[in-house]
Structure 1
Amino acid sequence: MAPSVSGSGLPSGCQVFTTMPDILFILEFIFGGLVWTLVASTQVNPANPQGWVMFVAIFCFVFTTIFFLIYICGANQSSVWSGLDVGYHLIAVIFQLGSAVALAIATQDVKALYDLNLATFKSYQEDIAAVVMAYLCTLTYFIHAVFSIIRFRSS
């Protein structure tokens, strides 16, 4: 990735698409959107873990969008933004990991209830896909957090 960043250590404009870890925003959008879509299309009982997973998916998707737009507009040139970037991504990692684990446990518990007919097996496969996407999303946020910490410490 190109190391071209502004004076505050954070990229702005189109540099967001060429610098690490900011290019990970795109993967966070993809995996977060897939988690959101897959969880919304499945029915896991009890619905309580699903509510937490949806809250985390929507929360992280909205705040990642806000961060991404702020970076593209170049409004992130204050020295505060690198700390906010680290803080947000650490919170996102904790939330995403918690929701991924809750979704995995709920999916595993529901597996025993499926009688594996075609309709319920398809729903079970969607649940598994949601769990996989949730863990990929967690991993992406974690990698972004690590690189943000490195960038914060070097600035």
Structure 2
Amino acid sequence: MASTTSGDVLPTGGRIFTSIPDIFFIPEWVIGGLVWILVASTRVNPDNPQGWVMFVSVFCFVFTTLWFFIFLCGGNQSGVWPSLDAGYHFVAAVFYLGGSVALAIVTIEKAAIVNILSTAESLKIYRLDIAAVVMSYLALLLYFLHAIFSAIRWKRS
């Protein structure tokens, strides 16, 4: 049985497309980008919870892109990277949890407005908000799974 060292724990190059948890990079990136687009395409009202959701989606989109390219180029071979990987994805999952709950609350509150106004524009915005909530919770699930599998990989290293 071959021994594993901290240098060969994290995959690099094309191996990130076939290893768990790194296979979650692309879905996290796509779903996070959809959350960003869906929230940005609606009216940001109220500002505070929607602003937090925008911050979370943009922050996680940018850092997941950076993380992906670091892994792809092989810059993740020092011994600290397994713990950084688990830590980043845990923080992203916690951020998305807060953003998803806030977005869901705002969307539920908008349901009453849509029922009162019942215009085509308010219905369109409400449907975009529902899609954003669904994508946000899906992103939360992906980041949470990535954090769990990264923590397991960190413990093995």
TM-score, shorter chain, exceeding 0.5? yes
Q: Is 1:15 aligned to residue 45 of structure 2?
A: no
8 Å CA contact 2:7, 2:78 repeated in 1 = no
Q: Secondary structure at the match of 2:43?
A: coil
**What displacement does 1:40 show?**
0.2
**What displacement does 1:7 show?**
3.5
**What displacement does 1:44 show?**
4.3
**What displacement does 1:43 show?**
1.2
Q: What residue number does 1:54 align with?
A: 54
8 Å CA contact 2:44, 2:51 repeated in 1 = no
In 2, Cα distance between equivalents of 1:119 and 1:7: 55
Q: Secondary structure at the match of 1:140?
A: helix
Q: Secondary structure at the match of 1:60?
A: helix
More helix by share: 2
Q: What residue number does 2:110 align with?
A: 110
* Amino-acid identity (%): 59
Q: What residue number does 1:3 align with?
A: none
8 Å CA contact 1:44, 1:106 repeated in 2 = no
Matches within 5 A, 1:118-129: 118-129=120-131
Q: What is the letter of the counterpart of residue 135 of structure 2? A: M
| Aligned partner of 1:138 among 133, 137, 140 | 140
**What displacement does 1:119 show?**
1.4
TM-score of the superposition, structure 2-length normalised?
0.93
**What displacement does 1:8 show?**
3.4
4+ residue segments displaced more than 3 Å:
none
Q: Secondary structure at the match of 2:46?
A: coil
* Alignment coverage as a number of residue pairs: 151
In 2, Cα distance between equivalents of 1:7 and 1:50: 41
Q: What is the letter of the counterpart of residue 77 of structure 2? A: Q
In 1, Cα distance between equivalents of 2:63 and 2:45: 28
In 1, Cα distance between equivalents of 2:118 and 2:156: 53
User: Structure 2: any 5+ residue segments left out of the alignment?
Assistant: 1-5
In 1, Cα distance between equivalents of 2:8 and 2:93: 24
Q: Is 1:154 aligned to residue 156 of structure 2?
A: yes
User: Structure 1: any 5+ residue segments left out of the alignment?
Assistant: 1-5
Q: Secondary structure at the match of 2:98?
A: helix
Q: What is the letter of the counterpart of residue 58 of structure 1? A: V
Q: Is 1:28 aligned to residue 28 of structure 2?
A: yes
TM-score of the superposition, structure 1-length normalised?
0.94
Q: Secondary structure at the match of 1:23?
A: helix
> Which has the larger displacement, 6-15 or 45-54?
6-15
8 Å CA contact 2:7, 2:79 repeated in 1 = no
Q: What is the letter of the counterpart of residue 74 of structure 1? A: G
